[in-house]
Chain A
Amino acid sequence: MASRMMALALRHQPAASKTSLIVRAAHSGSVNPHLAEKLEKLGNRDVVGFGWNGEPTYYDRPDFPMPAIRFKENTPDVLALRAKEKEDWKKLSIQEKKALYRASFCQTFAEMKYPTGEWKMHLGNTLIVFALAIYISLWMAAYIYDPDPISFDEEHQKAQLKRMLTLEVNPIHGLSANWDYENKRWKK
């Protein structure tokens, strides 16, 4: 009961700080192996923010650039660089700046946004499905469908066309516009 209230109170904290995780684990240690696992995975890393859902996770997201934890664990050299970072930045060499970046982040924006060429796979699969569809429809036409009704043969089609011309179907822009009624033939 007390541990549950503690958990509820912790839920309202703005950041999933490491201390809050430890407290949670301490109160519900044996019943919740997931928290212990999480702490184990977290290791020595700093929790630097809320992240996108409060969990201490790391992921490179172009739409959410600030994950909740640093990428690499804190080692003595990184800590030394951090101390140097607190002074004038002009004193940092470019290598040191890059090392500081790579300690906190896995990839740069350029690297995470780099095109993967995945669209070619999707296009290929789509075209394969189209090809299969065409195969199947040809097979259906050859073996499955009933034969065409009689109105599809040459004589019937001619009679239908004659009727459409006599009744002046689409006489301005369409069919009968191309028929010369005086000379009974198609206009050139």
Chain B
Amino acid sequence: MSIAKPQLRRLLSSQIKRNLFFATVLVTGLTSGFYFLRNKPRKQDYAEFYRTYDADKAFQRMLDGGYMQCVEKRDE
């Protein structure tokens, strides 16, 4: 039974270096993943929606439905 000689000295130091490296990689990867896959498309969706949104028509629709308790019709 012959296995490779394990590292005997400076174990904590090498552990810390390895952990720092993986932590940096993981954090960078995950945050940029979140940003590019979630945040950016969401902002674009919101921008698209409000670019062509007719607020007055929507409000009139809500009034017609009779769901407004404080206002009867749109005053100009």
Measured CB to CB, the residues of A under 8 A from B are 162-163, 166-168, 171-173, 181
User: Considering only CB atoms, which chain B residue lies closest to A171 in the complex?
Assistant: B49
B45 touches A172 (CB 8 A): yes
Q: How many residues of B contact A (CB 8 A)?
A: 9
- B45-74 vs A: 1/0 string, CB under 8 Å? 110010000000010011001010000000
Bound complex: CA A163 to CA B61 (Å): 11
B45 touches A181 (CB 8 A): no
- The number of residue pairs between A and B whose CB atoms lie closer than 8 Å in the complex comes to 19
Query: Helix, strand, loop or mixed for chain B's interface?
Result: helix
Bound complex: CA A92 to CA B3 (Å): 23
B67 touches A172 (CB 8 A): no
Chain A residue contacts of B61, Cβ below 8 A: 166, 181
User: Given B46, B62, B65, which contacts A172 in the complex, CB threshold below 8 Å?
Assistant: B46
A172 touches B58 (CB 8 A): no
4 A-B pairs with least C-beta separation: A166-B65, A172-B49, A166-B62, A172-B45
Chain B residue contacts of A173, Cβ below 8 A: 42, 45
| Other A-B pairs beyond A168-B58, A173-B42, 17, CB < 8 Å | A162-B65, A163-B65, A163-B67, A166-B61, A166-B62, A166-B65, A166-B67, A167-B62, A167-B65, A167-B67, A168-B62, A171-B49, A172-B45, A172-B46, A172-B49, A173-B45, A181-B61
Would you list 16 pairs from A and B whose C-beta atoms are within 8 A, ordered by A residue?
A162-B65, A163-B65, A163-B67, A166-B61, A166-B65, A166-B67, A167-B62, A167-B65, A167-B67, A168-B62, A171-B49, A172-B45, A172-B46, A172-B49, A173-B42, A173-B45
